[in-house]
Amino acid sequence: MIKHFLLILTFVILQACSGGKNVKQISSRQHDFFSEESFLRFDNKRLQAFQDQAPCFSGNIIDDLKELRSQLDKRKDEPQYWNQIGTCYYLNQDYTKAEYYYQLSLGTAEKLNHTYAPALNNLGILNVKLGHYIQARDYFRKSLKGNRNHTPRYNLALVHLKYNKPEKAIKLLTRFPHQDSSDPDLNFNLAYTYYLLGDFKQCRYHLSKMGAYDSRSDAHYLKAILLYDEGKYQDVLEILEKTTISITEFNKSNNLLKSLAEKKLEELEELAEKKKKAPKVTSK
C-alpha cells in the first residue's frame, strides 16, 4: 500500500516538475509577440538566457523556489519577487499558494502606492484555470487599467472568446502594434475571432502567418472548417492528416470534422455513381 502510494507520489512530483509547461513552446523570439512580458512559451534554449528572471519555467520548480526563498530579505519589497513565487506555484499547479503569493505581490505593490499589473494578470489566468472567467476578466481589466501591456489585453480577448464575444475580442486583438507578427497563438486567435465574425479572408490571412506552427491541430481545425464550408472535403481530410502538433481541445472536433468530410465524400461518390448509371438526357 505504502509502495503504491510512493509510486503515485513520485509520479505526481515528476508531473509537477514538468507540469504547466505549455506544449506550444516557441523556439524563436521572432515568433513570440509576448516575449518581453511572458516566459510561458519560451523553450529551454531561450530560457537559458533568462535563468534569473524566469524561475521555475524550465521545470526546476523546487530548486528555483529554494533559490527565491534565499532572496527573501533582499527582494521581499519587490512585487515582482512575489509574482515570481506565485508563478512558480502556478506552474506547479498549486493554485491556492499561487493565489496567495500573487495577492502578496499586490499587497507589496500597494505599500509602494501602485498596482502591479503582472500579479493582476496572473490572478486572472489563475481564475481562468479554475473556470472563474468573470473574475479572470475583471483581473485582466484591472491589469490593463492605465497601461498598454500586451499580455492582459491578449488574455482578456481570450476570455471574451470564451463568452462568444468575437466582436469584443477583435477590438482588443487588433489594437496590438504588431499585428503583422508571426506569433502563432496570436495569429490563431485572430484567425479564430475573424472566423467567428465571418471574416474568412482575415481568418485565412492570420492562419497563413502562423508559419511553421500552422501544422497545429487548432490551425488545422480552422483551415479544415473553411475548406469544409467550401465543399473541399478531400482537402479537409488532407489537411487534417497533416496535423503534427496536437492541441487537445481541437482533436475531438477535428475528428468529427474528418468524419463529416468523409461522409460528404461518400455522399458525393454515391451521387456520382448515380449520375453514371442514369441515361443521358438529350436536351431539346
HSE (side-chain half, CA atoms, 13 Å) at 109: 19
Number of C-beta neighbours around residue 141 at 10 A: 15
129 binds other proteins (CB under 8 A): yes
Distance CA 145, CA 209 (A): 30
58 binds other proteins (CB under 8 A): no
Distance CA 151, CA 218 (A): 20
Q: What are the two backbone dihedrals, phi and then psi, of residue 245, each rounded to the nearest 5 degrees?
A: -110, 120
* Contact present, 219 and 254 (Cβ < 8 Å): no
Number of C-beta neighbours around residue 37 at 10 A: 16
Nearer Cβ to other proteins (10/30): 30
Number of C-beta neighbours around residue 7 at 10 A: 10
Distance CA 134, CA 3 (A): 43
Q: How far is the CB of 118 from other proteins (least distance, A)?
A: 4
Nearer Cβ to other proteins (85/210): 85
Using CB under 8 A as the binding rule, the residues of this chain from 186 to 225 that contact other proteins are: 188-189, 192, 195-198, 221, 225
Using CB under 8 A as the binding rule, the residues of this chain from 77 to 116 that contact other proteins are: 80, 83-85, 87, 90, 94-97, 99-101, 104, 116
39 binds other proteins (CB under 8 A): yes
* Contact present, 218 and 188 (Cβ < 8 Å): yes
Total residues binding other proteins (CB under 8 A) = 90
- Using DSSP's 3-state secondary structure scheme, residue 42 falls into strand
Using CB under 8 A as the binding rule, the residues of this chain from 260 to 279 that contact other proteins are: 260
Question: Mask of contacts with other proteins, 4-33, x by CB under 8 A?
Answer: ------------------------------
Using CB under 8 A as the binding rule, the residues of this chain from 59 to 78 that contact other proteins are: 65, 69-70, 72-73, 76
* Binding-site member from 17, 64, 124, 207 for other proteins (CB under 8 A): 124
Q: How far is the CB of 276 from other proteins (least distance, A)?
A: 27
Question: Mask of contacts with other proteins, 138-177, x by CB under 8 A?
Answer: -----x--xxxx-xx-xx--xx-xxxxxxx---------x
Nearer Cβ to other proteins (53/244): 53
- Using DSSP's 3-state secondary structure scheme, residue 10 falls into helix
Task: Name the packing angle between helices 184-197 and 200-208 (round to 10°).
Answer: 170
* Binding-site member from 17, 61, 106, 128 for other proteins (CB under 8 A): 128
